[in-house]
Structure 1
Amino acid sequence: MENEKTWKQFKGKETPSSVEINELFFNNIPEGSEILDFGCAWGRIAFHLQKMGYNVTGFDLNQNAVETALKEAEKTNKKNIFQVQFHTANAIELPYPDKSFDACILQAFLTTIIKPEHRTLILKEANRVLKDEGIVYLADFGQNWENPYYSQRYERDFAKTGEMGTFIVTKKGKPPGKELFKAHHYTKEELMLLFEQVKKFKVEIVHETVLTTFQGNQTKGYIIIAKKI
């Protein structure tokens, strides 16, 4: 994926991870479920879910972050009935058998996918590894044209990214500065269209919320819960 080298620059717990799990996850996915965590980084979400009573498999492109998660898992797995495991893998070609998981969590993950064709492939892979009637829980950032901080970035970076809503994230949060990675903010229609294109999901919940970026900004976000059909 285009952002692959970018995300591998982060070491250990440096990988941005700021979005909290909404109660909608726990209301719709029963304890004891087998969860696949997309873009798990160093395992922040996975370890939280383990504490809440879920078995979690996490994967990420960043081997260093995965190794950090594995070291922590050696400790947490000894203390918990519910277990976590981690792998280095690519979301567009998952190393897991069909119908392996009860739910997939994509927590501020699609924002890092800047090639539209890859987004569809990722949801198709999620569908493949889900058990019948399995759940996708997706939480991601929405386009925020009301906020000049974001609207100016969308328009400024369009010439470089080629897609409205995709922008360059810098270390200082604004230009000039070193590019950390590219990110995409979605319209609700974009997210719904992705599920329609995959065709094997029924969207059950669309919830507008406020999410926190890794730089501490509060912005519009969406939570979608969809069932495999």
Structure 2
Amino acid sequence: MNKDTTTWFTSWFDTPFYHILYKDRDETEAQHFMDTLTNYLNIPEGGKILDLACGKGRHAIYLNELGFDVTGADLSENSIKFAKQFENDTLRFEVHDMCKPFNKPFDAVFNLFTSFGYFDKDEDNLNTIKAIKTDLNDAGFGVIDFMNSEFVIANLVPEEVKTVDGIAFNLKRYVEDGYIVKDISFTANGENYNFQERVKAFTLTDFEMLFEKADVYLLDVFGDYKLRKFNAKSSERLVMIFK
């Protein structure tokens, strides 16, 4: 693969291998997070939620089961195609670029599990926050759930091999030009594959500057999925609630 990573996420996230590598992500923890978050935000029953960068729709489906009217949006056509089998009257999925507004009012817009900071153009990060603001109704809340970059960098595992479904994924992690980079190489069906994930190492201060530029108000900052206080040194997550 060439090193032009402007659209690395469109190619990597569209492969079946992406879903194999990350299939052991903790569902129970994710569902508890959704319970805690929707309770905390006091989203009305039947309230409208936009799940931005929804992937194959796991969290959108669960939010819908909780009684919310949910729209899942993602750039990956394969993921949306897969998710569409779960659609019903109050659950729909669409291919959508999160830099652009959805142009419908929502009670909440969720951007979960570090689905931000992929863009090479800085203005796209700002445009995403502006788009979220545009899509919120007067009482609505935006939520960005990001990694705590400081903690991640301090605890980076430079190299490891993770074997899933008989595929040995060789992972290399490093920091380069303000991005946290993960090189992923593996062999499957006799072919060698190389992919790269690049996520901008945004700190809370970086987000505060983006929020100010987007003219949104940061209400709360939490450090984990139980919504405990954020600590830059020890928190694993950076969960920000704004409007």
TM-score normalised by length of structure 1: 0.75
- Does the 8 A contact of 2:12 with 2:18 survive in 1? no
CA distance in 2, matches of 1:136, 1:66: 22
- Does the 8 A contact of 1:59 with 1:88 survive in 2? yes
Q: Which string of whole-angstrom CA distances, capped at 9 and with x for unpartnered residues, describes residues 151-209 of structure 1? A: x9444xx1xxx3x243134257xxxx82243223321111222211101x211110112
Aligned to 1:28: 41
Matched, 1:106 2:111: yes
Structure 1 unaligned spans of 5+? 212-218
When residues 100 and 198 of structure 1 are mapped into structure 2, their CA distance, relative to the original with a 3 A threshold, is same
CA distance in 2, matches of 1:169, 1:44: 25
Structure 2 unaligned spans of 5+? 1-5, 159-171, 187-192, 227-234
TM-score normalised by length of structure 2: 0.71
CA distance in 1, matches of 2:185, 2:37: 32
When residues 84 and 127 of structure 1 are mapped into structure 2, their CA distance, relative to the original with a 3 A threshold, is same
Q: How does 1:1-229 map to 2 (within 5 A)?
A: 2-11=7-16, 14=19, 16=22, 18=25, 20=30, 22=33, 23-30=36-43, 31-73=45-87, 77=88, 83-94=90-101, 96-97=102-103, 100-107=105-112, 108-143=114-149, 144=151, 145-149=153-157, 153-155=173-175, 158=176, 162=177, 164-171=178-185, 178-199=194-215, 201-209=216-224, 220-227=236-243
Letter in 2 for 1:184: K
CA distance in 2, matches of 1:116, 1:61: 18
CA distance in 2, matches of 1:24, 1:89: 24
CA distance in 1, matches of 2:17, 2:84: 11
Give the structure with higher Rg (CA).
2
Offset of residue 69 of structure 1 = 0.5
Offset of residue 148 of structure 1 = 4.2
When residues 25 and 40 of structure 1 are mapped into structure 2, their CA distance, relative to the original with a 3 A threshold, is same
SS in 1 for 2:236: strand
The Cα RMSD (Å) is 3.0
CA distance in 1, matches of 2:197, 2:55: 15
**Larger fraction in helix:** 1
